[in-house]
């Protein structure tokens, strides 16, 4: 039976045959329609056979209507609908820059900026009269330098996306692109599938509350299974997921009907059984126990860098973790701060829109805390949350990040159209589906090349930004390099717009910064709860 989505192509072929037969009786009336339908049928066959564009493979003929409206849409949007800079959730301009860099096309813009530089919140990088020259763009940092197996990481990597949320072909293409570009691919909490292993790219194994890939029959953490996976050479770091920006504090269930044999194999669960991710972990329940668990995983993995990822929620809970570091002497090798603007395949609207601290405020809070405790040099910070361009990276690095992760950016590189059907299984480009017919549209060698290109060209753009600012490495970016317009008549650097703690300042006293003044003393190393009520504040201002 012909798949429903090929109905347009099949109809054209059928009509071509009918009109050809009718033309035998009166060719003057039917030859032209027959020729048109035959031409459309040939277009459909060419669409189906080509490997460059997933949308044409899944929607022969019809895809060209999309391209037509995409071509004329700037005029329609300009006069009737919206601007290229409107974010829904990513603007056309943001998506276009990814597509162009992934394809290796020209990514320059004519006629000046479409942004209003006099609008509040407009930001820019101050440049130098004496630009620098940087020989290469492969910017790297060492994570866990004192561990048995330190990792030299790129400053731009693939953020957590699980097999199951993404198709097998998407995982293969991402991992091959990561292998070629020597950057890491975060597995997401769905664990390490056969597709993560096949290409040999560097992996960060994310372990969530379901302990997929390292769980026993009751869903509890299993040391033996953990060691079996963690010992793989391609697994370079271990990441404990406390929460994700798109739906922090919210668990999830993958219905049994969607738990295929491949997903079950990767996650270590029975085929056809509901796959539950609880809202909280069972291996620890206090900040001290969290750090002990991180240290335990680091030991079991043979000394691979180990850390955790979370979105900032109650500040006193993060302060409790920081106090536990002081009390136990245990520190993670890295922390990834996920912004509340982060994406996911499916989340309740209330969580997507109104739960979780945005990346910038969360990153500044974590960075300032570690500086104030003299721990910043021991812990690397990653940042994720709507990071697409080199400027997004530069801004995050200026306020404390050592590296950046991107999920949806690399999805766009795979061919994602922002159709926002990720949760339905009907992704038109084969990125977020387990339907074999849709998945085949994503041709791995072609999309792996695009993943590689997007990474390379984004880092080249970052190099150009650094050169313009007179710097030589992203680690030199600081708050004074970033300027933000506060109002029509005032601009301030991030160095003066926010309060930045001095090294060791938090060890001597509580800074007169609302987040610390209100929450620090109430935080506990032995509990995620506060010792006193800290909920009666009338203002909240992050440092």
pLDDT value for 2: 42
CB atoms within 10 A of CB 437: 14
The mean pLDDT of 482-507, rounded to a whole number, is 93
CB burial readout 288-304, b (16+ within 10 A) else e: bebbbbbbbbbebbeeb
Give residue for tokens 């899944």: 58
Closest CA to 123 of 484, 405, 540, 513: 484
Evaluate the CA torsion angle 341, 344, 347, 349 in order and state its sign: positive
List, for residues 153-181, the tens digit of each pLDDT value.
999 999 999 998 899 999 999 999 999 99
Average pLDDT, the chain: 86
Give 9's pLDDT tier (boundaries 50, 70, 90): low
Structure confidence by residue, pLDDT tens digits, 105-122: 888 888 888 888 999 999
Is residue 78 very low, low, confident or very high in pLDDT (cuts 50, 70, 90)? very low
Among the ranges 324-333, 348-357, 424-433, which has the highest mean pLDDT value?
A: 324-333
Looking at residue 157, its pLDDT comes to: 98
Identify the CA nearest to 102 among candidates 460, 447, 404.
447
Work out the pLDDT band at 15, boundaries 50, 70, 90.
low
Which residue is listed with tokens 């197996």?
149
- pLDDT value at 373 more than 80: yes
DSSP state of 166: B
Triad 192, 195, 196: Cα angle to 5°: 45
Q: What is the pLDDT of residue 345?
A: 64
Predicted confidence (pLDDT) per residue in 303-314, tens digit: 999 999 999 999
Q: What is the pLDDT of residue 417?
A: 84
CB-based contacts of 484: which residues, under 8 Å, 6+ apart? Answer: 121, 122, 123, 491, 492, 493, 494, 497
Residue 467 host element (H or E) = helix 444-468
């Amino acid at each position: 039976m012909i798949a429903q989505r090929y109905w347009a192509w099949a109809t054209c072929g059928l009509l071509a045959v009918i009109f050809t037969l009718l033309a035998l009786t009166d060719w003057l009336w039917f030859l032209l329609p027959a020729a048109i339908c035959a031409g459309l049928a040939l277009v459909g066959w060419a669409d189906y056979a080509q490997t460059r564009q997933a949308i044409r493979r899944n929607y022969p003929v019809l895809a060209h209507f999309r391209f037509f409206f995409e071509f004329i849409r700037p005029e329609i949007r300009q006069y009737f609908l919206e601007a290229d800079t409107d974010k829904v959730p990513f603007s056309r301009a943001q998506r276009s820059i990814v597509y162009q860099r992934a394809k290796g096309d020209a990514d320059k813009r004519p006629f000046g900026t479409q942004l209003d530089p006099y609008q509040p919140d407009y930001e820019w990088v101050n440049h130098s009269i004496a630009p620098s020259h940087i020989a290469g763009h492969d910017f790297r940092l060492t994570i866990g330098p004192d561990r048995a197996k330190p990792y030299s990481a790129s400053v731009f990597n693939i953020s957590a996306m699980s097999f199951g949320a993404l198709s097998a072909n998407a995982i293969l293409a991402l991992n091959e692109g990561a292998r070629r570009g020597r950057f890491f691919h975060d597995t997401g909490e769905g664990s390490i599938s056969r597709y993560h292993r096949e290409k040999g790219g560097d992996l960060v194994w994310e372990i969530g509350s379901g302990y997929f890939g390292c769980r026993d029959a009751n869903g509890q953490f299993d040391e033996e299974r953990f060691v079996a996976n963690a010992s793989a050479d391609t697994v370079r770091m271990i990441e404990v997921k406390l929460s994700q920006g798109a739906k922090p504090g919210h668990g999830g269930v993958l219905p049994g009907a969607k738990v295929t044999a491949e997903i079950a194999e990767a996650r270590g669960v029975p085929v056809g059984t509901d796959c539950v991710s609880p809202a909280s972990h069972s291996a620890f329940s206090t900040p001290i126990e969290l750090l002990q668990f991180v240290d335990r995983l680091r030991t079991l993995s043979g000394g691979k860098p180990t850390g955790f990822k979370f979105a900032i929620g109650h500040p006193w809970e993060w302060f409790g973790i920081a106090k536990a570091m002081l009390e136990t002497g245990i520190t993670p090798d890295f922390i990834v701060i996920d912004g509340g603007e982060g994406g996911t395949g499916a989340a309740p609207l209330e969580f997507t829109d109104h739960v979780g601290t945005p990346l910038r405020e969360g990153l500044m809070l974590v960075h300032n805390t570690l500086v104030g405790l003299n721990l910043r040099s021991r812990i690397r910070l990653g940042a994720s949350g709507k990071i697409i361009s080199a400027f997004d990276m530069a801004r995050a690095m200026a306020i404390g990040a050592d590296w950046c992760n991107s999920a949806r950016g690399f999805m766009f590189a795979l061919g994602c159209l922002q159709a926002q059907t990720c949760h339905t299984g009907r992704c038109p480009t084969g990125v977020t589906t387990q339907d074999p017919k849709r998945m085949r549209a994503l041709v791995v060698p072609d999309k792996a090349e695009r993943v590689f290109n997007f990474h390379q060209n984004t880092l080249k753009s970052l190099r150009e930004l650094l050169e313009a600012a007179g710097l030589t490495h992203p680690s030199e970016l600081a708050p004074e390099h970033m300027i933000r317009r506060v109002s029509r008549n005032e601009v301030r650097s991030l160095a003066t717009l926010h309060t930045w703690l001095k090294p060791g300042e938090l060890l001597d006293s509580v800074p007169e910064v609302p987040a610390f003044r209100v929450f620090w003393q109430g935080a506990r190393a032995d509990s995620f709860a506060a010792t006193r009520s800290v909920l009666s504040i009338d203002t909240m201002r992050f440092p």
